[in-house]
Amino acid sequence: MDDGVPMAPAGDGVGEIYDSAFFQRLEDGTRQSARVAIPLIMELVGPASVVDVGCGTGSWVAEFRAHGVLEVLGLDGAWVPRPQLQIPDHLFVPTDLERDIVLERTFDIAICLEVAEHLPPESAARLVADVVRLAPVVVFSAAVPGQGGEHHVNEQWPSYWAALFASHGYAGFNDLRLRLWDRPDVDVWYRQNTLCYLSEASQREHPQIAHRTDGGAMPIDLVHPEMFGRLARDRELKERYIQKLEIELQEKKDEISRIRNSFLGRSYRALRSTSALLGRKTIRS
């Protein structure tokens, strides 16, 4: 997951989910991943300007600046904690990603990393339309089904997103994912999910980006072994926890049953004693 997540509509409580603690948990891994990935992006494309759609606290924007890209901009929700921003305030534009993104300029590259899964399904096509308007090259990743995470409401396979990009004439390429795949110093969701989408003109401009997702050696829909292992371990832990809860629940049921039986037994004996006493009084009468 990127440290960037989309702005939620006012009053739905999502801003409480993406609080300062949420961004702090992600910050270190996100910045480290950016340090590794950005030189590879620079090698592939060499952008002079970059916009990050769903920038969070600006880890990726800050790293692009550190690598000499001075025309940068980060877009995300107004509730992103400003004290945690890693970029100057003027490079951050509060933006509701569930609405049309309107900027007065375009960029060499737009990045949108582990953001789309946080938006409702009805916003998916709009998001893709927005990022292709912003740049001829898009570096994009989004959580796959079963990946899990905080407020993931639209986990989809890359082929789902590729079809949306294709409707705008953008083709998908595996080149960056191939370079990241075996890098343990990059968060596994980036290694698994990150693809490049290029317009027809950009494909001619960057012939070095050549590993298309449609018909290439690497399938577009993949689960990284590390991600699979992580999810399998998580599932095993959850199953063990459920088993533990089931045992505890059964023990509580047994305890309640013993208490009930004990109470009923005492009540029955008291009733018999009362009946016997009343019987003796009746005989005396």
How far is the CA of 176 from the CAs of 19, 123, 273, in angstroms? 31, 26, 85
Angle among Cα 83, 84, 90 to the nearest 5 degrees reads 70
Question: Hey, which of 5-14, 102-111, 217-226 has the most confident mean pLDDT?
Answer: 102-111
Q: Is the pLDDT of residue 278 over 80?
A: no
What average pLDDT does range 91-105 have in this prediction?
95
Task: Check if the beta carbon of residue 60 is closer than 8 Å to that of residue 36.
Answer: no
Please, what CATH class does the domain formed by 14-221 belong to? alpha beta
Residue among 79, 110, 94 nearest 16 (CA): 79
SS (H, E, C) 117-184: HHCCHHHHHHHHHHHHHHCCEEEEECCCCCCCCCCCCCCCCHHHHHHHHHCCCCEEECHHHHHHCCCC
pLDDT digits (tens, 9 = 90+) for 40-85: 999 999 999 999 999 999 999 999 999 999 999 999 999 898 889 9
**Confidence (pLDDT) at 242:** 63
CA separation for the pair 85, 58 (Å, rounded) = 6
Could you tell me the residue ranges of all domains in the chain? Answer: 14-221, 224-285
- Cβ atoms within 10 Å, residue 98: 17
CA separation for the pair 282, 32 (Å, rounded) = 91
Residue among 226, 123, 250 nearest 242 (CA): 250
3-state secondary structure of 73: strand
Query: Rounded to 10 degrees, what is the CA torsion of 132, 124, 104, 15?
Result: -140
Confidence of residue 258 (pLDDT cuts 50, 70, 90): confident
pLDDT digits (tens, 9 = 90+) for 127-167: 999 999 999 999 999 999 999 888 899 999 999 999 999 99
Confidence of residue 12 (pLDDT cuts 50, 70, 90): very low
Burial of 217 (0-12, 13-18, 19+ CB in 10 A): exposed
CA separation for the pair 44, 38 (Å, rounded) = 10
Residue among 12, 166, 179, 30 nearest 111 (CA): 30
- DSSP percent split of the chain into helix, strand, coil, nearest 5: 50, 10, 35
Average pLDDT, the chain: 85
Of residues 20 and 271, more confidence is placed in: 271
Measured in degrees and rounded to the nearest 5, phi and psi for residue 73 equal -155, 140
What average pLDDT does range 112-118 have in this prediction?
97
What average pLDDT does range 254-279 have in this prediction?
73
139-143, 209-213, 260-264, range with the lowest pLDDT? 260-264
- Cβ atoms within 10 Å, residue 95: 22
Task: Check if the beta carbon of residue 180 is closer than 8 Å to that of residue 147.
Answer: no
Per-residue exposure over 53-77, b if at least 16 CB sit within 10 Å of its own CB, e if not: bbbbbbbbbbbbbeeebeebbbbbb
Task: Check if the beta carbon of residue 30 is closer than 8 Å to that of residue 60.
Answer: yes
